[in-house]
A = this chain, B = another copy of it.
């Protein structure tokens, strides 16, 4: 069973790394205003513009407000909109 996001949404996998707020040399301080979060994109919506900007497998920073949470096989996922994606982490 998979999730196909609609329009300009993406599905983000909320893995262990997100909880730690640290990936490699990147760190999200607790004191940050509008604290972003990290996650891996596992599905991209049907919006063609969006498909040229982010791809499945990209790790992204996204705004912590908004998004709809579901669980699939015990893993947590978040469905967010393009406007919530801040940057790709490479």
Q: Is the interface of A mostly helix, strand, loop or mixed?
A: strand
A79-B61 contact, Cβ under 8 Å, with A1-B23, A6-B85, A72-B27: yes
Provide the bound-state CA to CA distance between A1 and B46, in Å: 29
Q: In the complex this chain forms, how many copies of it are found?
A: 7
> Which range contains the number of A residues in contact with the other chain?
35 or more
A86 and B6 CA atoms in complex are apart in Å by: 6
Known: A6-B85, A63-B68. 5 other contacts (CB 8 A): A2-B89, A6-B82, A25-B72, A26-B71, A79-B86
Residues of A within 8 A of B (CB): 1-7, 9, 11, 23-29, 32-36, 43, 46, 53-54, 60-61, 63, 66-73, 76, 79, 82, 85-90
